[in-house]
Structure 1
Amino acid sequence: MSTESAAAEVAEPEAPEAAAEPEAEAAPEAEATPEDAAAPGEDAGADASGTDDGPEAAADARGTAEGGAGGEPSEAEAELAAQRELRQRIEERKAARTAPVDAGTKLQGTAADLLAAVRAVESGEKPVASAFREPEPVAPRRPAPEPVRRQAPEAPAAPAEPAREAVAAVAAVLGEGGAPAALAAKAAAALGEGADGQLRDDPWQLLRVPGVRPEQADGFARALLGDACGPGDERRGRALTVWLLEQAALAGHTALDAAALTAALGQRAVPDPDEAVQSALAEGDVLVFQDALDDAPQGAPAAASAAAPADGESESDEEAAPPVRVLFGLERYALAEESLADGLARVINSLPKDEGSGPGAEAWESAASSASGSTAELIRAVAAHGLVLHTGGEAARAEPAALVAAARSLGLRVCAAAHTADGQRRLAESARGEGDAEETTAVTVAGLLSGRQGPGRDADGALALDLLVVLDAPQLDVEAAAMLVESLPDGARLVLSGDPGVLWSAGPGRVFADVLAARACPQVVSRTPDPGPVGELVSGIGVGELTEVAAPNKEVVIVPVHDAADAIRRTVQLVADSVPRAIGVPSEHTQVITPGHGGAAGTRALNAALKERLNPGPGRFGGFDPGDRVAHAAVPGRTALGRVVRADAEGLHLECDGVPVVVAKERVEQSVRHAWAVTAHQAAGRRWPAAVVVLPGDAAAALTRPWVYAAFSRAERHLSVVQGVAQALPQAVAERPAKERTTRLRTLLRPQLPEAG
């Protein structure tokens, strides 16, 4: 890696005038604070990678999607409609379960037994193995049923706005409790019909409104109920249980360990956390799971416990019992993970075995023999299996593109989906390089699910294809992955391809990592390295080494800084002057990446300074002017980058990824940010000719190996690192792997999927 002397050649002494101090943000954004948005045991306001994208997805992207040009439903609207369709199918599958939790009744059956067992273990009355032993052998998991398929709606409608009367009624209740009337529309939308009555009966339901914190809900409850409420109120404990699980989902978890959840409730002054969880279970707000720990050491007891075996039980019985963990989760993510596991099993098991249903072995082998290396391995694996995993860096994207071309030459209906429009463009270029010029070959995941891109759906509602290749697979959260798998017809093949070193999805889950860890299908590892000094640097980071690389043409430059003000000044200089002049990359093709939105050198401060230098203006429309680079989050976890075109009475007109978007005036503050500087999660799936990664001193604790890997690998030709964290950077690369997420997919997959060949 180039040293400071090399940096001096690119970052020349700045002009005598210093960069102006960042202005106060014109459009303040709702963002959770560390104590307000933390999942139990993690930094609040940060997702599992240490960025601020989790709260951004919740605060900026909730609500209705804005329509595109021509009055047609936007991609965001179509995606929301597709999500509603999936939820309806999942609800039907849930209704078919043999032991539902009856809402509104006291806890009973298995759930009550599990909670009683948890308390028995914690009190030392019973060892863990005996407490969770089933009285009868557990029946094997039933085969995955064929999902109910429906025709995709031709014109999905946007979610209905709450009626004015309902909003007014909610505003009246909020006023009585001292809450701002501005929350009325959100509360009416979140609580649905009779929202005002729900708030009167249970003021802590206010926690279901995005951005509301527990202390605010407590104050609202005291104003409405007076002395009739307190920390031990059953309604408070139940609402906090759900709120904590929702905050955990923002940090990437799909469930929480029993001990973590009860500990977090205790930190929120809930006097009896177990009772609070039991109440939430009884009302059906939360689900409980007992999952086997398949990775426990052989011969180890179910859990660490000093209690002696119960009467009539021997120590050998205790050691023989399989270890388990008790998890609590929200129904939404629990059902999505179970639906995904069932769907992946169906993909593997429904691959046609007869020769007359598709290309024969000879045709596949002929296609593989015309390729070489890991590309040939990938083609052979897809020929024999329904589900295949492919791993590799940016250069390895050519291998799935070659697979798509080969499969299309065999007469198969093929589609390949990327995470972003930029990924779609690069995928299309690779496909054309392999001789595949079909327009429907390369799409985005959101476009495919909404029906606006791709081959469309058949009469049963399934995607009309034989092979689906998904690139940027680490960016799939559990709900998007479940929708994709549910949409595949029987007999279709699925390839998940991605770089395992990058950040996990902005939404809940770690789908790609869990499927890789389950080792239930073939895995093809690319042997195509990323070229150049940037590729060499990123490859070293992937194995935990931050090495110095030769950069004769200033491909990699380190710019040391002393404090945040110095970091902002040098960043503006690099983007506006040094990189365009020394490297030949204009400012509009240079992207700044930093760990979070807040802080002295976060995206807010950097964007204010960059706007003043690159596109100064009064910011007449919510702080924005024509020509501003912006990030638009219409739905949670989905951020589109673009530019401001103009503003009028209709709203703020943007061009995002080549598509015109109109953002209503009342939605601008919540869903649009400046984007000269973005976080690594916002940059995921995209690349720029040049990238400037800013690491101010206050970001040291947030750095992890996946964050550094993802941020550095966004650069194609040139990478500048504005470095103020000293030794914290190599330490993060060497010692801080990805923050763990609590998920169930790996456990759900193992009983269903056969051993990999």
Structure 2
Amino acid sequence: MTEPSGETMPEAAEPAADAEEATPASPGAQGEPGDAAPPADAGSEGEDAQDGTDGQDGQDVGAASAESAAEGEEKAEVSEAQAELAAQRELRARIEQRKAERAAPVEAGAKLSGTAADLLAAVRAVESGAKPVAAPRAGVPAPARPAPEVTVRPPVREAPVVTEETTTGVRQVLARGGAPEGLAGQVATVLGEGAARALTEDPWQLLAVPGVRPEQADGFARALLGAECGPGDPRRTVALAAWLLEQAALKGHTALEIGAVRDGLGKLSVPEPDKAVELAISEAAVLVFQEEEPEDAEDAEDAEAAEQEQRPLAPVLLGLERFALAEESLADGLARLIRTVEAAEWDGPELARAAGAHGLVLHTGGEAARAEPLALAAAARERGLRVAVAAHTARAGAVPVAALLSGATGPGRDEDGALALDLLVVLDAPQLDVESAALLVEALPDGCRLVLGGDPHVLGSAGPGRVFADLLAARVAPQIASRTPDPGPIGELVSGIGAGELTQVDAPGKEVVIVPVRDAGEAVHRTVQLVADSIPRAFGLPAEQTQVITVGHGGSAGTRALNAALKQRLNPGPGRFGGYDPGDRVAHSPAPGRCVTGTVVSADAEGLHLESGGERIVVPKERVESSLRHGWALTAHQAAGTRWPAAVVVLPGDAAAGLSRAWVYTAFGRAERHLSVVHGVDQALPRAVAEGRDPERTTRLRPLLEALLHEEEEA
């Protein structure tokens, strides 16, 4: 297995066209094209659902991770990322304990019992053509919160340190198998102290390292095992089943239908996919689920009629334990908040009245509608309640969700270890992935009110799950739709996109400008001109207040190419600090799925020092490569949840396949005062707005929550 080489960044193009010379118009209208730029290579890669700073694109197999770079070194001060991860580990432990109190764990091996055995029997019945027996769903009681386990604030723990002996052993095994030795740190971190032995006995465990492909793991296994291994090796089939679900999580799924997993195994040359799925289930590498639809009272009374109708059973799903645990914990926590709130009559607008009477309220609307939940929070504080407002990223009046969970900011914890809150308002709720949402809800005390607000038209979370959309679909809580429209030509344009229409808008102040381009090279050329010259001259906005947004990281007009060109024009330098210079604009990913923009200030032995929103951030030197990118250009997933005075959305011709209505809506909506669209996709843009739907994510939250609340109504 060879180590993939990195992409070569194209040279920066010279600036040419000017925004003042372009024709203000609606997207799709033709302006005068500028001077042609040299043709550039096509092949822009699509934006990944798991887009933090890198996403899949940055997870090359041979890339040295933070862990491998830090082998055997002493840890410095606890970083922000370590604090967040430590808090998440602690809360996950509490979640696991709550789940363990409700059902015994499924043991690995061939012997299964209870619901897991029933579902496996149902799977076999489906495969044999017989009518499956509906597996009973374990009843979920409604206990009070567990006894307190922590003090006021959770202690910050350092990330586990892998010993030099373990890393050396892993490096030797990788060398014998022809794998890049630079993976040793990652493998040791993922597999633990016994990593060398585990990898020797089961080479396909290499697939647990992000970025490793099945063909690479197969080559590694052949080098270690020789003729002993084959495509039907049980170790291979089990590892591939789990790998398929990990890949699905990168696309937002928390589970997959069993047929999709079987098909995926077949494409990977597994000889008997059905038996492979059964083996993965029996070994507890994957979990099997079949949610039951709650029955209406009339159906229960007329059992014979229901039997005759033979309503189709819910699909059998396979999932990984971590996402199953998160979804079940989230459903339990939301049901707890709905059940334990003390209804009160609050005066004020509809949102305030709903929040007073319910434990969970959903608020929908565009950017201007954010003022409504903020006003609710201010009014609740005047009532003497303990209130916090959180958002995906730090914005006026809100703290980042990650900082709230880590204890870096916020109200602290009460004597039960829960956040000391009576009301939590979460903005940008569509950006909540299922694990973050589970941690957040689990941290709330009984009786706390939760208001989730956001725009249902924007791109979903970078991580797995579709929490906000699932809750809206389940209709388990009041839904308050804002009637406050987003103002101005940009607001009018974005509102039309949300309705599936790319309308022409009047932009007398050049609020919306279309810049036609013929190819990716010209797109880069024009983008640099807009950011460096045209927008500052026309609107008095410095370059740092303009954000470039494009479809993906790779390709001739992806973030890599655009950032290389913008750095050459705006802050040229040798990149003496790990590829960065003071003054460079960067995108930092302290945790998967989270992106924080900032500027490089300096570097020393401690790491790279950034300034972001008035705060100083230190990125440890061993994490620079894995968690930092240049940030003049971002993907729409990275930009979601933040707005800038000006935005330049780059749409080269090879980006057409990556467009959808949600992508266009999110990208165009990042601009406050001015939006330039570098347009080279012709009719693909209006077609994406009218027809381009993002693929549905397979999740379990909605049926889980509906079943829980249905059981409580019957009790």
Q: Please say whether Structure 1 and Structure 2 have the same fold, judged by a TM-score greater than 0.5.
A: yes
Change (3 A) 1:65 1:220: closer
1:391 lines up with 2:392 in the alignment: no
Task: Give the equivalent residue in structure 2 for 1:339.
Answer: 329
**TM-superposed deviation, 1:139:** 6.2
Task: Give the equivalent residue in structure 1 for 2:8.
Answer: none
What SS does the aligned partner of 2:216 have?
Answer: helix
Tell me which amino acid in the other structure corresponds to 1:347: L
What SS does the aligned partner of 2:676 have?
Answer: strand
- Between the two structures, name the one with larger relative contact order (CA 8 Å, sep ≥ 6): 2
Task: Give the equivalent residue in structure 1 for 2:389.
Answer: 416
Distance 1:119 1:526 in 2: 49
Tell me which amino acid in the other structure corresponds to 1:263: D
Task: Give the equivalent residue in structure 1 for 2:669.
Answer: 713
Distance 1:19 1:613 in 2: 18
RMSD: 3.2
For the 8 Å contact 1:101–1:282, the answer to whether it is kept is no
For the 8 Å contact 1:477–1:508, the answer to whether it is kept is yes
CA-to-aligned-CA distance 1:429-456 (integer Å, 9 cap, x gap): xxxxxxxxxxxxx322111111111111
Task: Give the equivalent residue in structure 2 for 1:624.
Answer: 580
Distance 1:63 1:322 in 2: 48
Q: Which residue, 87, 97, 102 being the options, matches 1:82?
A: 87
Task: Give the equivalent residue in structure 2 for 1:487.
Answer: 443
Distance 1:149 1:223 in 2: 51
Task: Give the equivalent residue in structure 2 for 1:46.
Answer: 48
1:170 lines up with 2:170 in the alignment: yes
Task: Give the equivalent residue in structure 2 for 1:693.
Answer: 649
Distance 1:568 1:389 in 2: 41
1:142 lines up with 2:141 in the alignment: yes
**TM-superposed deviation, 1:4:** 5.7
What are the ranges of 5 or more consecutive residues in structure 1 without an aligned counterpart? 23-32, 35-42, 300-312, 354-359, 369-375, 429-441
**TM-superposed deviation, 1:499:** 0.6
Change (3 A) 1:352 1:19: same
Q: Which residue, 94, 98, 101 being the options, matches 1:93?
A: 98
What SS does the aligned partner of 2:110 have?
Answer: coil
Distance 1:396 1:498 in 2: 9
Distance 2:444 2:411 in 1: 12
Change (3 A) 1:58 1:248: farther
Task: Give the equivalent residue in structure 1 for 2:23.
Answer: 5
Distance 2:365 2:608 in 1: 39
Distance 2:497 2:67 in 1: 40
Matched residue pairs, number? 678
What SS does the aligned partner of 1:530 have?
Answer: coil
Change (3 A) 1:325 1:600: same
For the 8 Å contact 1:343–1:485, the answer to whether it is kept is yes
Distance 1:604 1:750 in 2: 44
Distance 1:507 1:53 in 2: 13
What SS does the aligned partner of 1:146 have?
Answer: coil
Distance 1:476 1:81 in 2: 19
**TM-superposed deviation, 1:529:** 0.3
Distance 2:146 2:655 in 1: 46
1:289 lines up with 2:289 in the alignment: yes
Change (3 A) 1:485 1:724: same
Change (3 A) 1:333 1:693: same
For the 8 Å contact 1:626–1:643, the answer to whether it is kept is yes
Alignment of 1:73-222 (within 5 A): 73-107=78-112, 110-123=115-128, 125-126=129-130, 130-134=131-135, 140-143=139-142, 146-147=145-146, 149-151=148-150, 155-222=155-222
Task: Give the equivalent residue in structure 2 for 1:305.
Answer: none
**TM-superposed deviation, 1:420:** 0.7
Tell me which amino acid in the other structure corresponds to 1:208: A
Task: Give the equivalent residue in structure 1 for 2:11.
Answer: none
For the 8 Å contact 1:537–1:548, the answer to whether it is kept is yes
For the 8 Å contact 1:52–1:597, the answer to whether it is kept is no
1:556 lines up with 2:512 in the alignment: yes
**TM-superposed deviation, 1:625:** 1.0
**TM-superposed deviation, 1:500:** 0.5
Task: Give the equivalent residue in structure 1 for 2:623.
Answer: 667
TM-score after normalising by structure 1 = 0.84
For the 8 Å contact 1:75–1:446, the answer to whether it is kept is no
Alignment of 1:437-516 (within 5 A): 442-516=398-472
| Most deviating of 695-704 and 618-627 | 618-627
Distance 2:234 2:283 in 1: 11
Tell me which amino acid in the other structure corresponds to 1:203: P
Change (3 A) 1:322 1:101: same
Change (3 A) 1:378 1:589: same
For the 8 Å contact 1:287–1:329, the answer to whether it is kept is yes
**TM-superposed deviation, 1:399:** 0.5
For the 8 Å contact 1:378–1:403, the answer to whether it is kept is yes
Task: Give the equivalent residue in structure 2 for 1:38.
Answer: none
Distance 2:241 2:132 in 1: 24
| Most deviating of 581-590 and 227-236 | 581-590
Task: Give the equivalent residue in structure 2 for 1:380.
Answer: 353
What SS does the aligned partner of 1:753 have?
Answer: helix
Distance 2:640 2:64 in 1: 17
Distance 1:74 1:321 in 2: 53
**TM-superposed deviation, 1:92:** 1.6
Tell me which amino acid in the other structure corresponds to 1:490: D
Structure 1 consecutive aligned stretches of length 4 or more whose deviation exceeds 6 Å: 7-14, 16-22, 57-62, 64-67, 313-316
Tell me which amino acid in the other structure corresponds to 1:381: A
Distance 2:203 2:253 in 1: 27
For the 8 Å contact 1:54–1:507, the answer to whether it is kept is no
1:742 lines up with 2:698 in the alignment: yes
For the 8 Å contact 1:20–1:609, the answer to whether it is kept is no
CA-to-aligned-CA distance 1:73-123 (integer Å, 9 cap, x gap): 333222111111122112223333445321133455543443443344345
Distance 2:680 2:641 in 1: 26
Tell me which amino acid in the other structure corresponds to 1:338: E
For the 8 Å contact 1:564–1:600, the answer to whether it is kept is yes
Change (3 A) 1:258 1:78: same
1:658 lines up with 2:658 in the alignment: no
1:565 lines up with 2:567 in the alignment: no
What SS does the aligned partner of 1:641 have?
Answer: strand
Distance 2:64 2:440 in 1: 21
Distance 1:94 1:140 in 2: 12
For the 8 Å contact 2:242–2:286, the answer to whether it is kept is yes
Distance 2:606 2:96 in 1: 38
CA-to-aligned-CA distance 1:245-272 (integer Å, 9 cap, x gap): 1111111111111011110111111111
Change (3 A) 1:142 1:295: closer
Change (3 A) 1:20 1:277: closer
Tell me which amino acid in the other structure corresponds to 2:338: I
Distance 2:527 2:352 in 1: 45
What SS does the aligned partner of 2:596 have?
Answer: strand
Aligned residues with identical type, % of pairs? 64
Distance 1:529 1:96 in 2: 47
CA-to-aligned-CA distance 1:183-239 (integer Å, 9 cap, x gap): 111111110021000011101011111221111110110011000000000000000
Q: Which residue, 469, 486, 491 being the options, matches 1:530?
A: 486
| Most deviating of 388-397 and 578-587 | 578-587
Change (3 A) 1:483 1:534: same
Tell me which amino acid in the other structure corresponds to 2:337: V
Task: Give the equivalent residue in structure 2 for 1:229.
Answer: 229
Alignment of 1:51-66 (within 5 A): 54-55=55-56
TM-score after normalising by structure 2 = 0.88
What SS does the aligned partner of 1:730 have?
Answer: helix
**TM-superposed deviation, 1:630:** 0.5
| Most deviating of 745-754 and 562-571 | 745-754
CA-to-aligned-CA distance 1:641-675 (integer Å, 9 cap, x gap): 11111223333222233332222333222211111
**TM-superposed deviation, 1:384:** 0.8
